[in-house]
Amino acid sequence: MPSAVEMIGIEKRFPRVVANHDVNFSVEEGEIHALVGENGAGKSTLMKVLYGLYAPDGGTVRVFGKEMREFSPAAAIAAGIGMVHQHFMLVPTLTVAENVMLGMEPRRGPFFARGRAETEVGALSEKYGLRVDPGARIEELSVGLEQRVEILKVLARGARILILDEPTAVLTPQEVEDLYATLRSLKAQGKTVIFITHKLKEVRAITDRLTVLRRGATVGTVASAETSQEQIAEMMVGRPVSLRVEKTAAMPTAPVLEVRHLCAEKLNDVTLEVRAGEILGIAGVEGNGQSELLECLSGLREAESGEVVLGGEDLSAAGPPAWFRAGLAVIPEDRLKRGLVGDYSVADNLVLGRHRLPRYTSTGFVRAGARDADAEELIRRFDVRPPEKSVEARSLSGGNQQKVIIARELSRVPRFLLAAHPTRGVDIGAIEFIHKAIVAERDRGVGVLLVSAELSEVMALSDRIAVMYGGRIVGVVSAASADEKSLGLLMAGGKAAS
């Protein structure tokens, strides 16, 4: 029996980058196969070649033994391939049924047979246990439901091979469980699943085999169950990686940030303190006021009452410029919305916010020399890949966008660092790097406030942990004495056992 997918010697070049070089990748029918690798390793690119979105510059693709001659989504769909993209491909103003049937609409003459489309989609969602209302508009759905629609879209086209690009990055833990159940039932019905992810735990939990890519080339394919997380991480990065945060005990001094009785939208009498030289982690289920707190602590939202003091200066009514002057650095929640200008080059992004310094401007003109020299230095130090200062920030992979932000913010030499989900969508190697950088800032005497949706990250990185629930700080514990269970209880609104 031929393999479901065989990709041999795949080559794909972009203007400045070789994304895939001599990649070999094969998947057997009926298996769940993971594709792992660092940010920018070329995983998405390889899958886009398989799905016909990019034509390879070299190499052969065979699907169920038949060589692909034409590279287009239409040809891939015809060959039985479906793809759920990293960034969803749904039209928000259309309904579920319209999105699923787009391109293969049931017709009555020239008309779209809406009733028939909704019945078909309903039947399909029944068959695979992917419950969603066919008449609902996409913009009304949660991310988890949107993903179901994406999977339905693929199944409706009779796909026998499903590609999922980082399907769990945006899901809540419950939604992740549901997705796994779906993937298992798809496998039971004989479908083949290819699954890109950065989370090594889930790789081992749900996949049969995995293939590792590094810098555009295949490192190898192994059986998931027989390979440890450490081994996978080492294959990905090319050196042993510590999956734990190495840090010494904190030596905190005076408070840098003091928040007293802060009230604002969704925030209810928040009082907390971050001292120089410590990392205060905020644990909590998303949506309990963390985003609003972050906005209050960077000048994006005005306090209704209460005090916010940074380095002795009351900033409760100040805007971002005053905050930055007082020594703030921010790793924002949403990289492309608040962290980067996607259309600007990496070099321009690296000077954003400091572009008025005499070093970067003279009589109203940008000093390109200084900007580029500093950009090159930062790109080297923070290992941004590809090491190109003039590419658009948008074209970087997620992890490398994050590195650009961190490079810029840390080069401000802050006294207070606000880090929101610093490793979201970031690979193992970069996580280690970012964690080290944050700890190094702490050891330099910076006060760090960390917000993360991953409890394990909060626990590993913080010196003290504050739990947020319903817009309040419901408890502060030292990280050394914290355990997952009691934190979980607090996060769910239970009282601290004191």
Partner 1 sequence: MSALFTLETAAGTLNAAAPLILAALAGVVCERSGVVNIALEGIMLCAAFTGVAVTHALSPAGAAHASAWAPWAGVAAAAAAAVAVALLHGVVSIHVRANQIISGVAINILAVGLTQFLCYLVFKSSSNSAVVASLPRWGAGAFRYSPLVWFAFAAIPLVHLLLYRTVFGLRLRAVGEHPTAADTLGIRPVRVRYAAVALSGALAGLGGAALASDVSQFVQNMTAGRGYIALAAMIFGKWTPCGAAAACFLFAFADNAQIALQEKIPPQFAQSIPYLLTILVLAGFVGKARAPEALGKPYAKTD
Ligand X SMILES: Nc1ncnc2c1ncn2[C@@H]1O[C@H](COP(=O)(O)OP(=O)(O)OP(=O)(O)O)[C@@H](O)[C@H]1O
> Which residues of the shown chain bind partner 1 in the complex (CB under 8 A)?
14, 51, 53-55, 72-74, 77, 83, 85, 89-94, 98-99, 102-105, 107, 110-112, 153
| 423 is a contact residue toward ligand X (CB under 6 A) | no
Site of tokens 């039932």: 185
Q: Is 42 in the site for ligand X (CB under 6 A)?
A: yes
Nearest one of 388, 385, 441 to 415, comparing CA atoms: 441
Site string for ligand X, 384-413 (x = CB under 6 A): -xx--------xxxxx--------------
The phi and psi torsions of 291 (rounded to 5 degrees) equal -60, -40
Instruction: Decide if residue 462 touches ligand X (CB under 6 A).
Output: no
Q: Mask: binding to Mg ion, 112-141, rule CB under 5 A, as x and -?
A: ------------------------------
Using CB under 6 A, pick the residue from 7, 10, 27, 41 that binds ligand X. 41
How many angstroms separate the CA atoms of 389 and 381, rounded? Answer: 13
Q: Which of 10, 12, 37, 44 binds Mg ion (CB under 5 A)?
A: 44
Q: Is residue 430 at the binding interface for ligand X, with CB under 6 A as the rule?
A: no
Which of partner 1, ligand X, Mg ion, none does 180 bind, CB closer than 5 to 8 A by kind? none
- Which residue's CB comes closest to Mg ion? 44
* Nearest CA among 199, 207, 159, 166 for reference residue 183: 207
> Residue 86 CB, nearest distance to partner 1 (Å)?
12
**Segment near ligand X (CB under 6 A); pick from 41-49, 103-111, 280-288, 459-467:** 41-49
**Which residues in 38-165 belong to E strands, given as ranges?**
58-63, 66-67, 81-84, 107-108, 111-112, 161-165
With binding defined as CB under 6 A, does residue 429 bind ligand X? Answer: no
Q: Does 211 bind Mg ion (CB under 5 A)?
A: no
| CA–CA separation, 154 and 126 (whole Å) | 15
Rounded to a whole number of angstroms, the minimum distance from the CB of residue 431 to ligand X is 12
**H/E segment holding residue 26:** strand 18-27
Q: Are 61 and 67 in contact (CB under 8 A)?
A: yes
CB under 5 to 8 A by kind: which of ligand X, partner 1, Mg ion, none does 442 bind? none
Nearest to 477 by CA among 257, 280, 246: 280
Q: Contact 400/385 with Cβ under 8 angstroms? A: yes
Residue 274 burial (CB count, 10 A): 27
Interface with Mg ion by CB under 5 A: which range of 42-50, 71-79, 290-298, 399-407?
42-50
CB nearer partner 1, residue 93 or residue 242? 93
What, of ligand X, Mg ion, partner 1, none, does residue 341 touch, CB below 5 to 8 Å by kind?
A: none
Quick one: which of 17, 164, 264, 328 contacts ligand X (CB under 6 A)? 17
Q: Are strands 111-112 and 107-108 parallel, antiparallel or unpaired?
A: antiparallel
- Minimum distance from residue 319 beta carbon to Mg ion (Å): 35
Spatial contact of 91 and 99, defined as CB atoms under 8 Å apart:
yes
* CB nearer to ligand X: pick between 10 and 280: 10
| Least Cβ distance, residue 102 to Mg ion (angstroms) | 24
Query: Which among partner 1, Mg ion, ligand X, none contacts residue 77 (Cβ within 5 to 8 A by kind)?
Result: partner 1
In the chain, the N- to C-terminal Cα span, in Å, equals: 63
* Cα dist from 159 to 32, 50, 84, 363, whole Å: 15, 13, 11, 60
17: partner contacted, choices partner 1, ligand X, Mg ion, none (Cβ within 5-8 A by kind): ligand X
Q: Which C-beta is closer to ligand X: that of 350 or that of 487? A: 350
Q: Which is nearer to ligand X, 78 or 169 (CB)?
A: 169
Q: How far is CA 180 from the centre of its chain?
A: 19
**Residue 140 class from Cβ within 10 Å (0-12 exposed, 13-18 middle, 19+ buried)?**
exposed
User: Closest separation between CB of residue 7 and Mg ion, Å?
Assistant: 16
Taking phi over 0 as left and psi of -120 to 50 as alpha, with beta for the rest, 470 belongs to left
173-188 vs 143-156: helix crossing angle, rounded to 10: 20
CB nearer to Mg ion: give 388 or 409.
Answer: 388
- The answer to whether residues 284 and 245 touch, using CB atoms and an 8 Å cutoff, is no
- Total site size for ligand X, rule CB under 6 A: 18
Pick the piece of the chain touching Mg ion (CB under 5 A) from 43-51, 100-108, 224-232, 318-326. Answer: 43-51
Judged by the rule CB under 6 A, the positions of this chain that interact with ligand X are 14, 17, 19, 37, 39-45, 385-386, 395-399
